[in-house]
């Protein structure tokens, strides 16, 4: 048996399903800590992975795949043997190239063949593949021929149950290690019941492990996951929505209070330097309807940075500890990395922070400009350039005979200049003049 067809990794497992924006390092690690056997990454498009650069992040001890400064995949050492990379693809060649690139950085590779969202279908990926058996076979055979880790795919049941069975037979012939099956059809969503009988028929039809998915609506604790798996006749069960709203559903000892889930997640988000947007998204999903009824929920909704989110939940000490550790390691970077004519401070901040501050005229540019006027020196001169790799902007500023810059890409020139001003305030030891918390430093 080839490595790609080794089913042992997938057999008899409880798994966190792939989830866009959520299935990143902190939530994966939290699920594993609670008791999940495997965790899938969020779906990552093949071309995005292939355009990325593999970086060993010594500051965090992780393996990062980055497009410039956009971290599209971060793998922590303790999840490496239990992390399944899910890719979106419509090309056997691209899938094979991903397998060569990833090597053994992850435990397995899964192909998304069930996502019904327009962006996937429009590009011929996800659920669009369910009616293209030849394309499915091309992708999976190409992938299994080169992969150094087990390969699986995840589908939805088709409108005609007999077509589902025909499809899974062809998939098994491609040499995959396992098959995930979501028990809803392409046009069905969460309110529709999971078609447990159809998953059971798939499990009877193939000899490889079947991973049942789609049961979050009837799951509230670990025992419910086992019951769902048993009812479907599947080897393993995969949980998505419930794992996001209640990550401790994986605990055999029972679920934890929601606020403990939030705190535990934030600790990992701080430790692994998750960005503000993704951190806030997961916290809000755990909160659900409590965003309005719980004071901490209301503070989270209004928060414009990870520190403000942490402050709402009493974890600001963890945030500061992790931030200090990163800054200390950042200062050890070689001065030979970049030309010496710039002083680099690789800081950034969320766009919301800027919008909140503009009404009070307390942005980094305003503070730096006022300081120069007060000191009767030349006002700052800004420059920016657009990176070809990702079309984002980097800004720089010349002030008081020095030049400052941040290498963190920004969506527009306005943000790039504001971030450059923040870098200058730090470099000139004037950071105390800027009121509030701004920095979100990512390594």
Backbone phi, psi, residue 186, to 5°? -55, -40
- The CA distances from residue 96 to 147, 154, 219, in Å, are 7, 17, 36
Return the closest-CA partner of residue 87 out of 69, 66, 67, 73. Answer: 73
- Per the CB < 8 A criterion, the answer to whether 194 and 161 are in contact is no
Cα separation, 96 vs 93, whole angstroms: 5
- Per the CB < 8 A criterion, the answer to whether 56 and 63 are in contact is yes
Residue pointed to by tokens 């069975």 = 165
- Other residues' Cβ atoms within 10 Å of the Cβ of residue 163: 14
- Per the CB < 8 A criterion, the answer to whether 127 and 116 are in contact is yes
Cα separation, 45 vs 160, whole angstroms: 29
Return the closest-CA partner of residue 179 out of 225, 132, 134, 130. Answer: 130
Which active-site residues does the annotation give?
115
Cα separation, 438 vs 426, whole angstroms: 11
Residue pointed to by tokens 């009877």 = 204
């Amino acid at each position: 048996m080839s490595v790609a067809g080794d089913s042992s990794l997938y057999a008899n497992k409880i798994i966190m399903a792939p989830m866009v924006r959520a299935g990143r390092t902190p939530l994966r690690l939290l699920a594993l800590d609670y008791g999940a056997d495997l965790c899938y990454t969020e779906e990552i498009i093949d071309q995005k992975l292939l355009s990325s650069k593999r970086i060993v992040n010594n500051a965090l001890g992780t393996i990062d795949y980055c497009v410039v400064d956009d971290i599209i995949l971060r793998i922590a050492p303790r999840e490496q043997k239990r992390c399944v990379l899910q890719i979106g693809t419509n090309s056997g060649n691209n899938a094979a190239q991903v397998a060569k690139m990833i090597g053994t950085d992850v435990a397995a590779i899964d192909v998304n063949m069930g996502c019904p969202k327009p962006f996937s279908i429009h590009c011929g990926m996800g659920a669009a593949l369910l009616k293209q058996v030849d394309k499915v076979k091309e992708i999976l055979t190409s992938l299994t021929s080169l992969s150094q880790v087990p390969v699986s795919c995840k589908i939805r049941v088709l409108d005609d149950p007999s077509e589902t069975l025909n499809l899974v037979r062809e998939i098994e012939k491609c040499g995959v290690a396992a098959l995930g099956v979501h028990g809803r059809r392409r046009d069905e969503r969460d309110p529709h019941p999971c078609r447990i009988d159809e998953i059971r028929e798939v499990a009877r039809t193939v000899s490889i492990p079947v991973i049942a998915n789609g049961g979050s609506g009837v799951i509230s604790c670990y025992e419910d996951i086992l019951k769902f798996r048993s009812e479907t006749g599947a080897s393993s069960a995969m949980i998505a929505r419930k794992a996001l709203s209640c990550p401790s559903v994986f605990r055999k000892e029972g679920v934890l209070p929601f606020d403990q889930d939030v705190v535990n997640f934030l600790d990992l988000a701080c430790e692994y330097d998750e960005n503000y947007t993704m951190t806030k998204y997961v916290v809000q999903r755990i909160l659900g309807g409590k965003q309005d009824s719980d004071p901490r929920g209301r503070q989270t909704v209004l928060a414009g940075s990870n520190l403000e989110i942490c402050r709402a939940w009493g974890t600001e000490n963890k945030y500061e500890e992790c931030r200090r550790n990163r800054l200390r390691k950042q200062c050890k970077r070689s001065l030979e990395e970049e030309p010496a004519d710039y002083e680099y401070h690789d800081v950034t901040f969320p766009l919301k922070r800027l919008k909140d501050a503009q009404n009070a005229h307390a942005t980094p540019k305003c503070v730096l400009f006022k300081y120069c006027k007060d000191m009767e020196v030349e006002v700052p001169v800004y420059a920016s350039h657009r990176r070809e790799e990702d079309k984002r902007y980097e800004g720089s500023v010349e002030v008081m005979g020095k030049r400052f810059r941040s290498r963190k890409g920004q969506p527009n020139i306005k943000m790039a200049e504001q971030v450059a001003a923040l870098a200058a305030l730090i470099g000139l030891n004037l950071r105390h003049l800027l009121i509030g918390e701004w920095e979100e430093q990512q390594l």
